[in-house]
Amino acid sequence: MSVEVITTISPTTNEPILTRNGVSAAELEDLPRLAAEAFRTWRGTSMTDRQIIIRKFLKLLGDKKDELAEELTVQMGRPIAYTGVEVTTAIKRAEYLVKVSEDALKDTEGEHEKGFKRFIRKVPVGPVLIIFPWNYPYLTLINSLIPALLSGNTVILKPSPQTPTIVEQVSKLFAEAGLPAGVVQYFHCGSPLMIESLVRNPAVSHVCFTGSVAGGLAVQKTAADRVVNVGLELGGKDPAYVRGDVDIEWAAAEIVDGSIFNSGQSCCAIERVYVDEQIYDSFIKAAQKVLRGYKVGDPLSKETQIGPVISKRSKETIDAHIKDALDKGARDATPENPTFSNLPQNGNFVKPTLLVDVNHSMTVMTEETFGPVISVMKVKSDEEAVSLMNDSEFGLTASIWTKDIDKGYQLAEQVEAGTVFVNRADFPSPDLAWTGWKNSGKGVTLSRFGFGQFVKLKSFHLKDYPK
């Protein structure tokens, strides 16, 4: 059987830019075997030694920031002005996880009783399979990789075919940092059957998947043949509610950025905007003003703010969502902008689009668009806004924009999402649990709670020997 050849297509030009060989059946069998062998020694290393290696790795990662940033821009199309920020943010996120790891993984003492010692220990689960996406590859990888290693597990990485060099860089830098062989491995793969084979392998003790709902359900279904946990970070259709008391121009600038940064290709991008009817028209004008200042174009130009979306298929989906909305009565309120009307012809460029007069009969308000589209709907009250925010199969993040912080907090308590922001959006904070409700996923990454999926509990019950 021939080995699969995987080709990475540039979203900027739609031309091939990289090829990688897939994994053979024999190599696929070796991955979990080697991970299991490495686990036997890595699990016995001290927390201090694990932290030292990871800190060295993070230092090396920072030293290569510029090179890694250019790779990201070329492979997935985010403008070069921002890709380096992902690397530095990933480092800061990992540093926090290192800082709290000892406390998060410490023993939990039982009730005191003379003649007895009882405690609960968090022990590593074993080899972990991490399947992660292209849109924020360093950030989504760090979410699982760092706590998995700190907990004493070994890891097998499966990157997106769109950003194949991420795992190669990470593996190389960990080796330079002194990580023992076999603790971090990777493979390139485009075949679902290969991934299914690894998910079913009894040596794999835990699976982390970040990506689409369909992809996550497929992994969960495959894993159902075994008693193995699966952590899922899936899609979103994240809402924002703009109350009538805000500084309109400030809120518009923040929401436009939260909607179309990274060409809208973020699971926690703002995809639905509900605006108090009293400021609706003013908000639309303010959003138009913001959009007039945006520049779409070559992502390798430092002036570019919006690059292409990832693929022709993605562009087609975005265009279909916009057409459906317009066909059902929405209006395209996108302002004139010379870079919007003169998009590069060869890549998957989509103009940032401002849709008004939308409603929940439209696909753009119910299904994940994953593109630079700002859909704005008028609401009459806080109650109507919260009801509409919760009217979704997704529940990753949501945001409320108001000068009245107490009211914002009260409304946040009613919103069905794993993270609710007030006067902020699109910012996974490392000290908070990153978790999806509804079809946005299950399990937790980040914070002290993010270590939970990488350990199993073992109770120790010791009684003094009778004298």
Catalytic residues: 233
Q: Residues 272, 258: contact at Cβ < 8 Å?
A: no
- The continuous run of DSSP H or E covering 356 comes out as strand 353-356
Q: What share of the chain is helix, strand, coil (3-state, %, to 5)?
A: 40, 20, 35
What is the DSSP track for 371-388? SSEEEEEEESSHHHHHHH
Residue with tokens 């509990």: 457
Q: Residues 153, 124: contact at Cβ < 8 Å?
A: yes
Residue 193, exposed/middle/buried by CB under 10 A (0-12, 13-18, 19+)? exposed
Q: Residues 313, 278: contact at Cβ < 8 Å?
A: no
What is the DSSP track for 228-286? -EEEEE----EEEEE-TTS-HHHHHHHHHHHHHGGGG--TTSEEEEEEETTTHHHHHHH
Query: Which one-letter amino acid corresponds to residue 413?
Result: E
Separation between Cα atoms, residue 377 and residue 311, nearest integer Å: 28
DSSP state of 190: -
Separation between Cα atoms, residue 174 and residue 145, nearest integer Å: 12
CA-wise closest residue to 42 among 142, 145, 150:
150
Q: Residues 11, 308: contact at Cβ < 8 Å?
A: yes
